[in-house]
């Protein structure tokens, strides 16, 4: 072999070697890997990422919803235990900031025990409906539920109006104008409201309609300030969101550092074969709609019709979007105007909860039926028949136990610190 020939062969060899290494590199970095997703799948991933959540739109029914003074007042009210029957209960008793605004209990406990489980309030301002059954159509009207519930705050409307006049007069008047003169106890008893307590109820029914009206307005405004505070409690970006950003940027190496292979496999199941995305969709992992998922009925519980029973409540509620205490025009009340009022789907249906931070907010479901995510996933696999109503689920026959564990691993990637100014996550420092 001549020198020239040998050089030629070496050259070819070198070229082949370089090509080989290059293609190996390409294979490793762009070829099939657990982190490569089709364009359609990427669109689905993007739709779930926090990036695609628009800024919180204003609540037309709450004119002070984005007023910083209302946020400050609401912050104080949220933590103020004077707004209760025994001086010991505030919203934060059950919605504890350090527990992602939940309480860790199956059923909430304050003055008594509630029939349902405490959901988080993080990002709830995006939802058109409040409570598991959606019996309130605004966050400010929602506050009236716990405030008047005999087992939660246990107080009543005139009591709360008097407390505002006593402790928050200036803050209130700066936002809402003059408080009514509540000084005549014959017209404004210390304890009156349409509540379970017979004495307070009788006192309320004895009040003049215009005095009731005046108290209702204070009650509505109190709720609007609390809602302004809650509107600042939002979801922060979780590992899942960083993963999606890496995938969309084509950076598989970065993606691989964020979620482990089990979590990625779980994500693939979540948007595919396990069908979770049918209901837990969008950047908050909820469609804010009501579904019957055939949860086990808890021995001794009264029959809970869920959404079906809530529909007439929200329609008749004087504090709804179309009512006299709402700041919205009828055009702004589309959710209420076009609300689904009938259909077999409403029986036993409850609101799809967000799955953000779900790994940190056990127990689960509207009565805390399940203690662990593993139990939740077994339920989805088996999809038992519902009572009452019909379950929308069908059994996940093709999903193995190992895959359920992957789904669970994925749910752990949705945990993130609350996105809110640090001072809003603790009781306000200064008492009035």
Partner 1 sequence: MKRATVLLVTLLTALLLAGCGGKAEAPPAEKPDMGGMEMASSGEKSPAALPPVTSEQGLFVVQATSQLDPLAINQLHSWILHVETPDGQPVEGATITVDGGMPAHNHGLPTEPQVTEELGGGDYRLEGMKFSMPGLWELRITVTADGKTDTAVLELTL
Q: Is 304 helix (H, G, I), strand (E, B) or coil?
A: coil
Nearest to ligand HEC of 242, 379 (CB atom): 379
* Residue 62 or 142 having the CB closest to ligand HEC: 142
Three-state secondary-structure class, residue 92? helix
- The entry of partner 1, ligand HEC, none that residue 61 binds, CB within 5 to 8 Å by partner kind: none
Six-digit token string for 318: 């004087």
- The closest alpha carbon to 106, from 93, 115, 96, belongs to 115
DSSP state of 393: -
How far the first Cα of the chain sits from its last, in Å, is: 99
Q: Find the shortest distance in angstroms from Cβ 288 to partner 1.
A: 7
Decide which of ligand HEC, partner 1, none touches 34; Cβ closer than 5 to 8 Å per partner kind: partner 1
Task: Report the partner that residue 158 touches, choosing among ligand HEC, partner 1, none (CB closer than 5 to 8 A by kind).
Answer: none
Q: Are 290 and 350 in contact (CB under 8 A)?
A: yes
Give min distance, CB of 347 to partner 1, in A: 12
Residue identified by tokens 């628009």 is 54
CA-CA distance, 344 to 43, in Å (whole number)? 33
Cα–Cα distance, 126 to 233 (Å, whole number):
11
Q: Which residues bind partner 1 (CB under 8 A)?
A: 1, 5-6, 9-10, 12-13, 16-17, 19-21, 23-25, 27-28, 31-36, 38, 40-41, 43-44, 128, 261, 265, 268, 271-273, 275, 277-279, 281-282, 287-290, 334-335, 337-341, 343, 345, 392, 398
**Contact residues: ligand HEC, CB under 6 A:** 89, 91, 93-95, 108, 110, 114, 116-119, 121, 124, 127, 130-132, 139, 142-143, 146-147, 152-153, 226, 274-276, 278-280, 291, 293, 295, 350, 352-353, 355, 358, 361, 364-366, 373, 376, 380, 392-393, 407
Residue 290 forms beta bridges with which residues?
351
Identify the CA nearest to 288 among candidates 425, 143, 119. 119
| Strand partners for 130 | 136
Cβ nearer to ligand HEC, comparing 277 with 322: 277
427 binds, among partner 1, ligand HEC, none (CB under 5 to 8 A by kind): none
**Is residue 131 a contact partner of residue 145, using CB atoms and an 8 Å limit?**
yes
Please name the residue ranges forming H helices in 121-208.
139-142, 144-148, 157-167, 169-176, 198-205
Report DSSP state, residue 361. S
- Pick one of partner 1, ligand HEC, none as the site partner of residue 131 (Cβ within 5 to 8 A by kind): ligand HEC
**Least gap, CB of 40 to partner 1 (angstroms):** 4
Task: List, in order, residues 6 or more apart from 87 with CB less than 8 Å away.
Answer: 81
Q: Minimum distance between the CB of residue 116 and partner 1, rounded to whole angstroms? A: 22
- The CB-of-274 to ligand HEC minimum distance in angstroms stands at 4
For residue 89, the partner it binds in partner 1, ligand HEC, none, with Cβ less than 5 to 8 A by kind, is: ligand HEC
Q: Which does 391 bind (CB under 5 to 8 A by kind): partner 1, ligand HEC, none?
A: none
Q: Is the dihedral of CA 317, 146, 369, 239 positive or negative?
A: positive
- Are 285 and 277 in contact, with CB atoms under 8 Å apart? no
Which of 44, 63 has the CB closer to partner 1?
44
The site partner of 232 among partner 1, ligand HEC, none (C-beta below 5 to 8 Å per kind) is none
Minimum CB distance to ligand HEC, residue 17 (Å): 48
């Amino acid at each position: 072999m001549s020198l020239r020939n040998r050089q030629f062969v070496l050259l070819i060899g070198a070229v082949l070697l370089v090509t080989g290494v290059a293609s190996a590199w390409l294979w490793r970095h762009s070829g099939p890997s657990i982190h490569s997703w089709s364009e359609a799948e990427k669109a689905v991933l993007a739709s779930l990422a926090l990036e695609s959540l628009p800024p919180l739109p204003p609540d037309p029914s709450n004119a002070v919803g984005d007023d910083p003074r209302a946020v400050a007042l609401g912050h104080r009210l949220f933590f103020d235990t004077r707004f209760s029957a025994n001086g010991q209960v505030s919203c934060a008793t059950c919605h504890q900031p350090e527990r992602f605004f939940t309480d860790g209990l199956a059923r909430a406990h304050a003055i008594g025990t509630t029939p349902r489980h405490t959901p988080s309030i993080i990002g709830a301002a995006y939802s058109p409906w409040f409570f598991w059954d959606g019996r309130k159509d605004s966050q400010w009207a929602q506050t009236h539920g716990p405030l008047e519930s005999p087992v939660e705050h246990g107080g009543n409307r005139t009591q709360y109006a008097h407390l505002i006049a006593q402790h928050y007069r200036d803050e209130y008047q700066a936002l809402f104008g003059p408080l009514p003169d509540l000084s005549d106890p014959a017209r404004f008893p210390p304890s009156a409201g349409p509540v379970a307590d017979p004495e307070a109820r009788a006192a309320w029914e004895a009040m003049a309609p215009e005095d009731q009206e005046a108290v209702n307005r204070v009650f509505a405004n109190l709720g609007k300030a609390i809602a302004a505070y809650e509107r600042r409690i939002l979801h922060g970006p979780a590992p899942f969101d960083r993963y999606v950003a890496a995938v969309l940027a084509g950076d598989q190496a970065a993606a691989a550092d964020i979620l482990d292979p089990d979590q990625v496999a779980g994500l693939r199941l979540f948007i595919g074969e396990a069908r979770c995305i049918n209901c837990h969709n969008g950047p908050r992992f909820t469609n804010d709609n009501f579904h019957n998922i055939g949860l086990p009925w808890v021995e001794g519980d009264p029959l809970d019709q869920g959404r079906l029973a809530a529909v007439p409540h929200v329609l008749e509620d004087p504090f709804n979007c179309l009512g006299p205490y709402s700041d919205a025009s009828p055009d702004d009340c589309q959710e209420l105007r076009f609300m689904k009022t009938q259909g077999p789907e409403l029986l036993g249906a409850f609101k799809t909860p967000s799955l953000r931070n779900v790994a940190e907010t056990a127990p689960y479901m509207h009565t805390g039926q399940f203690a662990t995510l593993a139990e939740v996933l077994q339920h989805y696999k088996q999809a038992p028949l519902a009572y009452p109503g019909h379950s929308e689920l069908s059994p996940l026959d093709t999903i193995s136990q190992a895959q359920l564990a992957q789904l669970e691993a994925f749910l752990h990637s949705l945990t993130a610190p609350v996105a809110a100014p640090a001072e809003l996550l603790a009781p306000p420092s200064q008492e009035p």
